[in-house]
Structure 1
Amino acid sequence: MESELADLVSSEFDRQVKLLTSIKRIGITLATALIVATGGFSYFSNAKQVSRFIGICPTYQQFGTSVHIKGGINRNGDASLRSLLYVASWSALRGNTTCKECYARLKANGKPSKVALIAVANKFVKQAFAVIKTDAPYVDGFVSVRQTK
């Protein structure tokens, strides 16, 4: 069934599959799942909306000014896609430079491993959204420069 779904997605969304698989450590299975779940990223205007839809966006709860509850991810979206992103984040630590730097920075700041891996999965979503919206293949280690007015 996965191969049939991959064939269907690659015939309809061929360009997007090629762009998503240009990101290191994103394979055909994760690319297909991202395209199917997000409608080819056509329903969203920014990466934060995609993260929120999938359910890997961090949430915080605050009541008043003094009571703070420890946050977590919202878990509103597709659980199987979230688990695919989490497992892919393990692999990203070995091959994706940006994700490796993100994980190392968070671990150096004292974050637990699972929290850092969810942040890497969120980074994957941001990379995927950027690649699709700019219609350009992924360049490992690319840093965008903001233009100041």
Structure 2
Amino acid sequence: MNKYKETYGVDISKDVFDVYGSLSGHHQFNNDESGFKKFFKGLPENSLVAMEATGYYHYRLAQFLYKNAVAVSVINPLSIKRFIQMKLAKVKTDKSDAKAICEYAQNNAVPLYNALTEVQS
């Protein structure tokens, strides 16, 4: 169903972002330029990175990945919340949220992110 080699779900917060890869499992990175680069370095070609819209926190990572030609999808948080509720998940951690975002992106047609230009941002 999914045309990507690997799908990643990202749960992002102020200091770190948790990543769950459909093949590679869970990893955590600093939410800064060095963390973005470390994450990008480990991405295989033809990957999809999906994340919730979280304002400023998701924006920097989405822009970085988009500028480096990675397929990015920014998803409405309510969609993810309802998906997690539908699965009757009782555990709510950053790791479990990243996994749920990954599963959501694998099972649904998610829109690709169109980054703002430097002038717009």
With the shorter chain as reference, the TM-score category is: 0.3 to 0.5
Higher strand share: 2
Higher helix share: 1
Mark the structure with the bigger radius of gyration: 1
TM-score norm. by structure 1 comes to 0.28
